[in-house]
Amino acid sequence: MANVTPASTGVSPYDSYQTSLTTRYCSPAMSQLFSQRSRHSTWRKLWLSLAESEKKLGIDTITDEALEQMSAHLTVTDEDFEVARIEEKSRRHDVMAHVHAFGAVAPAAAGIIHLAATSCFVTDNTELILAREAMDLICKKVAKVIANLSAFALRWKSEPTLAYTHLQAAQLITVGKRAAQWVLDLMLDLHAIEQVRQELKFRGAQGTTGTQASFVSIFEGDTSKCDQLNELLCRNFGFPSCYDISTQTYTRKVDLIIANAVAGLGSTAQKITGDIRHLMHWKEIEEPFESSQIGSSAMAYKRNPMRSERVYSLARELMSKPASFAATHSDQWAERTLDDSAIRRIDIPEMFLLADAICIGLDNISDGLVVYPAVIASRVAAELPFMITEEIIMRLCAKGVSRQHAHEEIRVLSHQAGAVVKQEGKPNDLVERIKANEFFKPIWGELDGMLKAELYTGRSSEIVEKYCGSGGPVSKALAPYADYIRGVTTASLNV
């Protein structure tokens, strides 16, 4: 239980630190999911389910009145939090503080709440429930971004643009083809998170060291009831089964597996927004820019890529999370040490809040990208003479010219033309040099026809259509999210 100052003191929220994730970047839904009320109310639901299941399996000290009182107080109120706060201050144990607070409002159940359980019954099972719900939220938002970028890729599938390898101009692709690569990375993220979510299991009721000894005791040696108890708990909370082996906790390897899948979204987000930042520098594509938006406090003309920079920054932090979860897992001595507790209170919510904020940013950006075809065409035209050199070599070879001789001749002229561009600041004159060189006379008549950008984009358009188009892998992957995508509006930035 956090040491929260009562609202009655009138202390302003501006007088204490608040995380930027909840105040600036993430959605109300994700913030609420990891709130104190959500977490501790889930504890109460777990305690109720445990008691109901134990009663069903023959523990007759659990009365109907106790269950009714528990059912009537599943949401932790502000008054309950205050009772728990005072209790934890003296007990130094958050779970027992909330057992006491729950018993105070459900007195008939006070003696049976948490029966035979250990603290991790509520803490660990709650983490698994919240993680599952958080992954559901993230998957929907990733699907929305995929839908945005897939539509963008299809719209611009035939628009030639410079490709860049080593960040140097390379063989042409299309605007849509580059976006399709972004889509592919997001598709891999979606699949990874879906798979982890589908394979997630419950801790269940395992006792203090995973032997279920306390439950064997209350069931008077009938171990089959231990299995039945966990079956009931899994059914009540929608999990397929419990992890086969448990210590005091579910293995912290599970947290690492979740983190690896969720943090993968961070690397994709940096890749996409890094590309967009470069494209904005070249004035080929821009992220959304509002009419009243200010790019710089000093340079009024600027249109800075602040949305992409924000996502890029948040992604950097998200990508750091798996290392922390790996360290926590590796440091769990024997059956459990409590040095996993404080850091997981920070890492688990932050991981999902970061992913949520990144999805919001990507949705906002990808649904409002602006393309400048004229700028793209001018940049293509400046490099196109170099792009056709391989085709020139092939056509000369077809006319009986040595491939090596042709390569050397074109290499020399290309370097001369490059020097004119870089040293004199003049336009690329490679084509003029070729037309003035007798060696290339066999293909002079074909040169002008070769200077068409669309001839050098390969199968870009077809690749995009096949992947992002109707009936393709993208549409199949998005089918489970179709209603959500149709019904949701584009995410807006809080600030």
Ordered per-residue pLDDT tens for the chain, 495 residues = 455 544 455 678 888 888 999 999 999 999 999 999 999 999 999 999 999 999 999 999 999 999 999 999 999 999 999 999 999 999 889 999 999 999 999 999 999 999 999 999 999 999 999 999 999 999 999 999 999 999 999 999 999 999 999 999 888 999 999 999 999 999 999 999 999 999 999 999 999 999 999 999 999 999 999 999 999 999 999 999 999 999 999 999 999 999 999 999 999 999 999 999 999 999 999 998 765 555 555 655 557 889 999 999 999 999 999 999 999 999 999 999 999 999 999 999 999 999 999 999 999 999 999 999 999 999 999 999 988 898 899 999 999 999 999 999 999 999 999 999 999 999 999 999 999 999 999 999 999 999 999 999 999 999 999 999 999 999 999 999 999 999 999 888 877
* Rg, the chain, Cα only: 31
Candidates 393, 387, 417; CA nearest to 405 is: 393
pLDDT recorded at residue 301: 54
pLDDT attached to residue 387: 85
Task: Report the run of H or E that residue 170 belongs to, with start and end.
Answer: strand 168-174
Q: Which residues contact 473 (CB under 8 A, 6 or more apart)?
A: 187, 467
Q: Respond yes or no: is residue 166 known to be catalytic.
A: yes
In sequence order, the β-bridge partners of residue 165 are 168
Q: Which position among 166, 224, 297, 470 bears the catalytic label?
A: 166
pLDDT in tens, 476-493: 999 999 999 999 998 888
Cα(253)–Cα(330) distance, integer angstroms: 9
Measured distance CA(17)–CA(13) in Å, rounded = 8
If you ran DSSP here, which 8-state letter would residue 493 be given?
P
Check if 296 is active-site. Answer: yes
Question: Which is nearest to 358 in space by CA: 37, 25, 58?
Answer: 25
CA atoms of 9 and 330, how far apart (whole Å): 43
Residues 6+ away with beta carbon under 8 Å from 428: 382, 383, 385, 386, 417, 420, 421
Q: Give which of 211, 206, 214, 203 is closest to 250, Cα–Cα.
A: 203
Q: Of 35, 217, 241, 296, which residue is the catalytic one? A: 296
Residue whose pair of structure tokens reads 């059912």 in the numeric block: 71
> What 3-state DSSP class applies to 202?
strand
